Structure 1
Amino acid sequence: MNAATPAVSHQAAGDPRPDQRPAFPFAALIGQAPLQQALLLAAIDPGLGGVLVAGPRGTAKSTAARALAELLPQGQLVNLPLGASEDRLIGTLDIETVLRDGSVRFSPGLLAKAHHGVLYVDEVNLLPDALVDALLDVAASGVNTVERDGVSHSHDASFVLIGTMNPEEGELRPQLIDRFGLMFELQNCFEPAMRQAIVKARLAFDLDPQGFRAGYAGRQAAYVERIRAAREALPQLAFDDAVHAHVSALCIEAAVDGLRADLVMLRAARALAALEQAVAVTAEHVDRVAGAVLIHRRHQRDGQAGGDAYESEAQRQADAGGAADRPAGSGADAASASPGADENDWGYLPPEPAPTTQVKGVIPLGAKKR
């Protein structure tokens, strides 16, 4: 259910410009409640680091990303194409100004264009690592700093980063995937009623986009108001020690690397509390966002996974190290023949003499023939 929309979306909850095709309404997405929640949290607090949406082809990844942009105040959606250069992303020296006036001027890139909007990266796993690293840095900090080609420039770049990928086409490196604040995995739908509802909605939208959108105008406006109110409430919400302790326990149990998961989980729980206009952040809010925070950061702890194997390997090496000191007859045959023999001695054979053969000597060549 992928809507074909342009690179820049229209104003939130309003009609598209004459030269723009309408987007599929966010409120009309079917069976995507967890993904919708993750996208709304990123819209409320762009400092979360964005949302990575993984899933097979045709699961409405791009449709959901484009639909979210329409709910933001400026309704701006910027696409980062796969072939984009680093200069196109972060900005660079304005060559035209240099040649014309001889002065140094900064030429903004896509990060500046996406300010207060959505930066959408389809197939982010196929982008060069350096490009992904650069955009994730800016997504987390909200500031783009360029120091190159004689240019020293900084500008605000607060945007909702949404990356999509099909795992069948390759994975992101662990260092990069960890930088995304939230992750959500879409699955193919095999429920007949759900599939029929999705297809009917898409066909209705394609047949009459404006009429279809009109039916969801009220719910779209409600989403816009919820995001606005949540952004205003966000700074007033604090975390108590119990919430901090709960977050720490979940991250320790998941054996995450570093403290990024703790920070993202706290911020995501706060954004959820603000979305629901709660008076405080609670452990329940934490539990409801923990899955999206930990799904791409979770590791198996050494004490739980592989611990028995590690102990067995250590014991085997210790036994092997002491084999040279064992007396003859302490191997498997002796152990089976002697009741009460150490059962850890199995598998070791006593040393046996090996015959030697005299090798004919080699006559060295003279100095001149060498």
Structure 2
Amino acid sequence: MALALLVWLPLGIAGLPLDTPDGFLHLGWSVAWVRQLQAGWLWPTWSDLPWAGAGSFALLIYPPLFRVISGLPMLIGVPPDQAIASGLLVILLVNALGAAALAQAWLRPGGWRWLLLLTAALNPYLWVNLYVRGAWPEALAQALLWWLALGLLGLERRRCWGIPLSTAALAGIVLSNWNGALLSGLIWALAGFGLWRQGRWRGWLLSSGLALGLSSPFWLPALLALSGVRPPMPAGLFATEFFFGGGGGPRTFADLLWIQGLCLALLLALRGLGWGWRGWRPNPQVSVLAPWGLWIAVLGLVLMLPPAQAVYDLLTPLQRIQFPWRWLAPAWLGALLWLCSPGALEPQ
């Protein structure tokens, strides 16, 4: 909690970073949701506030969890900027507490636990989403990944909390961010493959179905409405947002974020050279979290490079993420799991 408060402190002192690509937009959505609730519209679907009241109505098919978290304080009179700041504090707490809970359940006491907690709390892509992009719902989905990993550990060990925790985490991601839900669905499928190899896939299947059912009041009407809505920006993948794919054009976020991809590759190499590559695939002696983390990180790195364009052309729904560097969220999760896996407790 202290680490989360430390990361949040600049927000508490300097206020919200609204001069970001998405920050003002999410503020407008939260305020619009609160005003419609106060007017008696319990399930609002349309609003004229998301585009700063410029006369263009928007269909609120964006996942609702962040605007609920940040909007509830507004209902009791908290000013919008302070309510949003409290929502960002919730994100940081969810992230830090999830990493701490996973470290305690998975790793031996001592340095390995602290390593996972510190690297999770200081995750540079989470900071980019909070302070640079203003992609606060995406940051919420990223924070919930630690709870999803803990739920996976519970499924592997057949703990009573494995199914409810993985269900809640997966449903929370779906209700947080479209792109986070798509990428999390892919890495969750990899987790299912790992559990299938261990003969423990039934809990995974049940939790996946429950998560889809719990979140269906949002995503099912939203998907049905998509065909009749004009998107606010061009759909499809932005090829210039691959790492090293700009071709000398205007600077992009990829020019800012490529260094994180390099750091991920170095972390994977450090783990392999220092402790060997044992555990790169599931087996009874190694928790599924270690190979799952390695697969996620490698997959994310590959799909952020220009040659991966052929993969996106083949799997067209994947183009929905628009920016290939969005793979940084699951890739950081995977790299940190793989990095800390030498400190894992013996399978129980």
TM-score normalised by the shorter chain: which range applies? Answer: under 0.3
Query: TM-score when scaled to structure 1?
Result: 0.23
More strand by share: 1
More helix by share: 2
Query: TM-score when scaled to structure 2?
Result: 0.24
